[in-house]
Amino acid sequence: MGVELDRSLVQQSLDNVKRAEVSKLVQIEHADLFQRDLSGADVIALYLPSNLMDRLLPQLEKVKPGTRIVSHFFKFSDIPPEKSLRFDSRDDGDAHEIYLWTAPIRKRKP
């Protein structure tokens, strides 16, 4: 299940799903992620700037224990990842970082 606010990106995603012949496995929804119930997810993949990830925290605090939260490039402001992976892309040659948290997310103690 993908959730995207930008209609052109929804269409691009649907085109990619069709081209990859995975239409029976993937659903893309035009919606506001901040209004979406995420509590049923097993894995949540994010590509959001840190300020928006922080804004999503109230919803992520409601997901079931064990839910994996994965982010490409961006981290929460006050919550260190459990794991991170840095790699060089064969596609664009750039360095990329992937971060992982497992629910329940624990905020850093002050």
Domains and CATH numbers, the chain: 1-31 (no CATH), 41-110 (3.40.50.150)
Look up the pTM and report it.
0.84
Strand partners, 43: 68
Per-residue pLDDT of the chain (110 residues; tens, 9 = 90+): 899 999 999 999 999 999 999 999 999 999 999 999 999 999 999 999 999 999 999 999 999 999 999 999 999 999 999 999 999 988 888 999 999 999 998 776 65
Between strands 68-72 and 83-88, the pairing is: unpaired
Phi, psi of 56 (to 5 degrees): -80, -10
